[in-house]
Chain A
């Protein structure tokens, strides 16, 4: 392989990196930094993330918890409770497309937190949640 070809290959890989600018860890780091400003000493917790994920919030009758559609195990496939459409696993441990774009992550937190919790999720909750699903659903 010539130096030019290697250069092109590196550019290509760097370009692919731009499309998926975030990783689960960088998202956790971002939400943690946001939380620490108001709550010094905060550190993300998979245990709290698990509670958030499985708790029945009592807001929506059809979608009482995250687990209603995403299944009890973030590594497993879920199923939309209204439409029956299959939902790919949430855990980036088994599905690398997850938690790779902050725009997409923010969109789904905005919609689903409103739906299930009846409010927006805090940055602390988002950090806990991603910590939990990244660990393959083990608290």
Chain B
């Protein structure tokens, strides 16, 4: 029994680590600055290349806001996004919203409506409300702090 628990714990830890590892990207100051002003710079791995292309074509109406870039900046950032984009359709959404992907929904299926509505969260775009270390690239489950202060278990 003890060894079974140990194996389970190991499996859980390594899957959390695998996820946080998958979301690492090399430093890209332009992406960080331009995509990280109004919200955190979301990892390129969380949408498909086709989704990123669609998004970067419509920055004048970016989820209701004007986020236009110069043509040069747009092309340079898109190349970076495409390079690290997901290849799996579980990370695709025809709305270009990461929160609409099958992967996101499965990962967050146990998050209560009350947590989403909490004053510290308000928007599903607000990853760092709970993933408090995400901007440093750490998305692991043990770094999660729910809005009421408790850990994610």
Is B89 located at the chain interface by the 8 A CB criterion? no
Q: Which of A12-20, A81-89, A122-130 lies on the face that meets chain B? A: A81-89
Of the stretches A27-35, A40-48, A50-58, A108-116, the one at the interface is: A108-116
- Contact flag A110-B68 (CB < 8 Å), given A82-B38, A83-B39, A85-B38: yes
Known A83-B126, A85-B39; contact A111-B68, beta-carbon cutoff 8 A: yes
> Measured between C-beta atoms, what is the minimum distance from A109 to chain B in Å?
11
Interface residues on B, range: 10 to 19
A87 to B125, CA, bound (A): 15
Chain A residues with Cβ below 8 Å from B40 are 85
Q: When chains A and B are docked, how far (Å) is the Cα of A130 from the Cα of B128? A: 31
For residue B71, CB closer than 8 A to chain A, the reply is no
Mark each residue of chain B from 29 to 44: 1 if its CB lies under 8 Å from any CB of chain A, else 0: 0000000001110000
Chain B binding surface SS class:
loop
Are B123 and A62 within 8 A (Cβ)? no
Chain B residue contacts of A84, Cβ below 8 A:
120-123, 125-126, 129
Among residues 43 to 93 in chain B, which have CB atoms less than 8 Å away from a CB atom of chain A?
63-68
Contact residues in A for B63 (Cβ distance below 8 Å): 82
**Residue pair A83, B66 in contact (C-beta under 8 Å):** no
> Does A135 sit at the interface, judged by CB under 8 A?
no
Interface residue tally for chain A (C-beta within 8 Å): 12
Chain A residue contacts of B38, Cβ below 8 A: 80, 82-83, 85
B63 closest partner in A (C-beta) = A82
Taking a contact as CB atoms under 8 Å apart, the answer to whether A83 and B68 are in contact is no
Give per-residue flags for B118-153: 1 if the beta carbon is below 8 A from chain A beta carbons, else 0. Answer: 001111011011000000000000000000000000
- B contact residues vs A (CB 8 Å cutoff): 38-40, 63-68, 120-123, 125-126, 128-129
